[in-house]
Structure formats: C-alpha cells, structure tokens
Chain A
Amino acid sequence: MTPFWQRLARQVGDAAFAFLPTLPYSRPEKKDCSGEAVVARGLSAGARADGPPAFRAADFSIPCGCRTALIGPNGSGKSTLLRVLAGLVPPQAGEVLVAGAPPALGRSRIAYLSQRPQLTEGFPLRLRRLVQMGTYAHHGWFEECRHGEDAVDRALAQLGLTELADRPVHALSGGQLQRALIARAFVQGAEVLLLDEPYAALDAASREIIERFLFDQGHAFTVLMATHDPADLARFDRILELRDGAVRTKHACSGHDHRHA
C-alpha cells in the first residue's frame, strides 16, 4: 500500500502535468512480425563511421522468431554489426532493415545489450527502476511511468530477480546486473533482441536462467547473439559467421515454425 502522502503527491503531479502536450518520441507501432526480422543488403560498416570497415557488402537475412548465433574471431566486427542493427552506428554503405524499417534511433522494437554496458558508477537507482526503464519506450516525453508494472513484475520473476528488486544497482553482482539488463530489454516489448556476448562473466546458474528465458519458445522474438562458445551453437536455429570482412549464413531455419512451436 502506497502511503497517503505519496498518492497525494502523485495526484497533484498528474494534475499539474495534465495540460502538457505529450510528444511521442518512441511510440511503438506494434505489428506482428512476419517474414524477415532483419534484412541487410550490401552492408558495410566499421566501429567508427569514418574508420576502416569491419565487413563489406554483407547480404543476409534473419526470419522472424529465429534464434541466431553470431560467431567469428575477436575483432571480426560482431559488435559493430550488432551496433549497426541497433542504430547506434550508421552503416557506411548498403541498406539494413530491422523489424521492417531502418534502425533509426528511438525505436522500441529493437533491444540491444552491449558487451560492456556503460552505466554511470554509483548512480542511486534500485533494480526495479532499472527494469522499469524498459517501459520508457511506451511513455512519451514528459510522462512519468504509470503503466507496465505487471510486465516489470513478470520479467523480474522470470529472471529470478524478485527478491533483489529493492537492491541498489551498484550493489548487484555482474550476473545479477546482466539479468536485470535482459529483463529491461524484455519489458521493452522488443521483437528483435540483439545481444553481445551476454554470458561473459556469468556463473552457471545465471547463465541457465538467461538461456531458459531466451530459448523459451513461448516468446515470440527474434534473437541475434554474438557468442564464442562452440558448445552453445546447437541451441540456435541459424548461425551467422563473420570472417575476413564477409558475413556467411551457415545453417538456415524457416522462421514461422519456431514462433508457434
């Protein structure tokens, strides 16, 4: 039960902001994913927009609902490819469509988990609020979070974080933080999850929780995950290999069976 003064403060706040226009900045245009989740044609990109390209003229596609592994040696451009698909790095040439549109910034349909998340150290934030940030995608400018509480609770439970919800973020272990970031991506309701080596520095228990979550066929999302673990590849429907500046598809899946299996 929220204390009286808190409810009062919220109502006064809401009343004060009721007259403000709400400018949508990333309103999700929720569509059912059908066909290709990711399409790249003649794609070239480098870690920096003006630097040397990590790969050239790549053509590949990933069907909706397909769990895809992205493999390749260190420095082959896996992270760059994921960042291009997330819209954080512009492509140097070619065209890329994610969830049917160019990955311009500000689209809630793509979730991206960086290999080294750059979080401000010592920032006063509870784990629950961190996960709630995923719902910001469904709020306009000037709006405080008023909906999405159920989704937050569900994601916390699925990733085994319910007990830790009130912990400060900087008191979490690496694995707990990683699970929280995945919960945030899930709360965002994204159709395409781009994950950059999410298992690095995870213990077996954390890793199992994340794996169970990602490969649960009940979730209708497309996964593209950079990974180094050869034992892991059997779980994936498809493998993309980056080597010597080229992208090759090693083994294909037909997307639709996976979504409703």
Chain B
Amino acid sequence: MLDLLLEPLSEPFFVRALLAVALGGVTCACLGAYVVLRRMAFVSTALTHSILPGVVGALLLGFSPYLGALAAALLTAGGAAWLAARKGASEDSAIGVMLSVMFAAGVALMQQANSWRDFAGLLFGSVVAVGADDLLVIAATTVGVLFGLRVLHKELELASFDEEYASLLGARPGLMRVVLLALVALGAVSCVSLVGALLTTALFVIPAATGVLLGRTVPQVMAWGVGCALAGGVAGLYLSYYLPAVPSGAGIVLCCALPYLLARLFAPRR
C-alpha cells in the first residue's frame, strides 16, 4: 500500500504536479469561500472560460500565455461590469454575454492556429506537464492571494455580509467587489494549467461549497475548503497516475466532488 503511494513520488513530474495542485487548491478554496458566499459562481465561470482566447491569442502573437490570460479575464470582468452598468440591464445576462462572446472568440482563434490537439491541455488541463516556471507562477499567486485575503479580511467579510453597513462605515463595498474579482481572475489564470479552462471554476466552487456546509465562520469555511481541495487534488492525481484512462484534470474535479457529496449527506444541519 505504502509503495503504491510512494512510487509516483520518484517521478519529478509527479512531485511538481502535486505541489501545483496543492498550491492551486489553497488559492481557489480560499477565494472560493467568497465566490460561493456572495453567489458569484457564474462570474467565476465566465472569468475562467474567457481565459481561452487570451491564451490562444498570446500563443499566436508569441508572448506569455499568463499575460494573455490575465488580460482576457480582466476584459471579461470589465466588460460585464460595463454592460451591467446601464439602467435596467441585469448583471446576470451581461456576464452571460461576455462569457459566450469570449469563448466563441477563443474557438475562432483556435481555428486560426490550425491545431486543436495543442489546445486540449488548455481546455482540460495538463497538470503533469507543469514545469518549474509554471510552479513559480502558481506559488507567487498563492502567496499574493492569501496576503490580499488576510489583509482585507474584515472589509471583505463586512462587504459580503452587509453591504449597506459597509458603505456606512466607508469600507467601500464596490471597491471590495472589484478587488475580489481581480483576485479571482489572478487565481483562475494561475490554475488553468491544473484542470483546464473548462473545469477551473470547479476548483472555486466545489471545495468552498463543501466548506459552507461544514464551517460556521468565514475562516472555518476556508479551512474546510482547503482540506477538501487538498484531499481531492492529491487523490485525483494518484487516480490518474494509476488509471491513465482518467485525465488528471477530470480526476481532480471528480475527487473534489466526493467530500462535497459526503458533507451534503452527513454534515449536521446548522
């Protein structure tokens, strides 16, 4: 049994993947707590999907895919905010428009590149291909995001719980929303190599949704979410190592869903 666990660790790519999944899981689970509590799951889906045209465009033009992805995510967030700012427009449909437009642009760009195979990793993740430089980006993002969440903890908590009181005290709930969206965009960009543009939103939503079932304060929700993401991520990697038929991204998401299901079935009613 122990050999089964230790054997993959002799492969450098597996160790890198393990580190990447752990760091990315921590980032997404902590941010996910606010995404779930503020009912922003749809925005996070839009941000993660819109990374596609950014990365493809960056590859076609020959600059860093991370910069392209970040630019595309910020464009989506800004575009949705601009569309929703008009009187009578619903934010929901503004996000829906941006999501589908960006994704369609990504598909069109992929056609330009003439090779769909190269982009399978972008869509569905290729955590085993994570290199040392990717790991550095993921680690830096984790540190940055945790720092931001810690420093603005009381403002984010207050603005998420009681927007009116937050503005009464001058804690600027609008600004807090923008900060949160920017952090989600950063986290999504860094994690896209783990599970792919199509599934990154799962890393934000599933562990945090588990946390909401089990935690009674925001830090507790984050802690349970991190535990769920770590357990699911590691289990998913081992699963795809021993069952090559299961791609790593899909394995991670499926293994994250298991603790959610258990919590849903057995968590004490609050």
Interface residues of A (CB under 8 A from B): 13, 16-17, 20, 25-26, 86-88, 105-108, 110-112, 114, 117-120, 122-126, 129-130, 133, 136-137, 139, 141-145, 168, 170-171, 184, 188
Q: Are A124 and B217 neighbours in the complex by a CB distance under 8 Å?
A: yes
Closest to B211 in A: A124
Q: Are the CB atoms of B218 and A124 closer together than 8 Å?
A: yes
Contact flags (1/0) for B30-64 with A, using CB distance below 8 Å?
Answer: 00000001100000000000000000000000000
B: interface residue count bin: 20 to 34
Whether the pair A106, B37 counts as a contact (CB closer than 8 A) is no
User: By the criterion CB–CB under 8 Å, are A125 and B217 in contact?
Assistant: yes
In the complex the two chains form, is A20's CB within 8 Å of B169's CB?
no
| Known contacts A107-B170, A144-B154, then 18 further A-B pairs from the complex at CB < 8 Å, ordered by chain A residue | A17-B150, A25-B171, A25-B172, A88-B164, A88-B167, A105-B168, A106-B168, A108-B169, A110-B168, A118-B162, A118-B163, A119-B162, A123-B161, A124-B37, A125-B157, A125-B217, A136-B169, A142-B152
The answer to whether the Cβ of B117 comes within 8 Å of any Cβ in the partner chain is no
Decide: A25 near B170, CB < 8 A? Known: A88-B164, A123-B161, A139-B154.
yes
Which A residue sits closest to B39, measured CB to CB? A120
- A188–B165 alpha-carbon span in the complex (Å): 11
Question: Could you say which of B154, B160, B164, B172 has the most chain A C-beta atoms within 10 Å of its C-beta?
Answer: B154
For B212, list chain A residues within 8 Å (CB). 122, 124
**Cβ B270 vs Cβ A171 within 8 A:** yes
Asked whether A142 lies within 8 Å of B151 as measured between CB atoms, the reply is yes
Interface residue B121 (Cβ < 8 Å from any Cβ of A): no
Q: Of residues B153, B161, B168, B216, which shows the largest number of chain A Cβ atoms within 10 Å of its Cβ? A: B168
> A46 to chain B: closest CB distance in Å?
16
Q: Is the CB of A86 within 8 A of B154?
A: no
B152–chain A nearest beta-carbon distance, Å: 7
Our pick among B150, B167, B171, B218 for the contact of A136 (Cβ within 8 Å) is: B171
**Residues of B participating in the A interface, judged by any CB pair closer than 8 Å:** 37-38, 150-155, 157-158, 160-165, 167-172, 212, 215-218, 220-221, 270
Give chain B nearest CB distance to A20 CB in angstroms.
7
Which 9 residue pairs across A and B have the least CB separation, nearest first? Answer: A106-B170, A26-B170, A25-B170, A123-B161, A142-B151, A137-B169, A120-B161, A124-B216, A105-B170
Q: Determine the distance from Cα of A125 to Cα of B221 in the docked complex, in whole angstroms.
A: 10
Contact residues in A for B38 (Cβ distance below 8 Å): 120
Q: A88, A111, A133, A139: which has the most chain B beta carbons within 10 Å? A: A133
- Chain B residues with CB under 8 Å of A171's CB are 270
A149 to B217, CA, bound (A): 18
Q: List 30 A-B contacts (CB under 8 A).
A: A17-B151, A25-B169, A25-B171, A26-B170, A87-B168, A88-B164, A105-B168, A106-B169, A110-B168, A111-B168, A114-B164, A117-B162, A118-B162, A118-B163, A118-B164, A120-B38, A120-B160, A123-B160, A124-B215, A125-B161, A125-B217, A126-B216, A126-B217, A130-B161, A136-B158, A136-B171, A143-B154, A145-B154, A170-B270, A188-B169
Q: How far is the CA of A137 from the CA of B167 in the complex (A)?
A: 11
Given known contacts A25-B170, A106-B169, A133-B165, is B221 in contact with A124 (CB within 8 Å)?
Answer: yes
User: When chains A and B are docked, how far (Å) is the Cα of A120 from the Cα of B156?
Assistant: 13
Chain B hits for A130, CB < 8 A: 161
Q: Which B residues are CB-close (under 8 A) to A136? A: 154, 158, 169, 171
- What's the least CB distance linking B150 to chain A, in Å? 7
Closest chain A residue, CB of each to CB of B33: A124
Q: Closest A-chain residue to B161, C-beta based?
A: A123
Contact A144 B169 (CB under 8 A): no
Q: In the complex, A83→B1 CA distance in Å? A: 66
Q: In the complex, how many angstroms separate the beta carbon of B36 from the nearest chain A beta carbon? A: 10
When chains A and B are docked, how far (Å) is the Cα of A118 from the Cα of B215? 22
Which among A120, A137, A141 is the interface contact of B162 at CB below 8 angstroms? A120
Complex Cα gap A83–B162 (Å):
16
B168 in complex: contacting residue of A112, A120, A122, CB < 8 Å: A112
Query: What are the residues of chain A within 8 A of B171 when measuring CB–CB?
Result: 25-26, 106, 136
Report if A129-B217 is in contact (Cβ < 8 Å); known contacts: A117-B164, A142-B152, A145-B154.
yes
Residues B168 and A86 in contact, CB atoms below 8 Å apart: yes
Q: For the complex, what is the distance from the CA of A145 to the CA of B158, rounded to whole Å?
A: 12
Instruction: Give chain A residues whose Cβ lies under 8 Å from the Cβ of B169.
Output: 25-26, 106, 108, 136-137, 188
Kindly provide the distance from the CB of A155 to the nearest chain B CB, expressed in whole angstroms: 15
Residues of B near A184 (CB, < 8 A) are 165
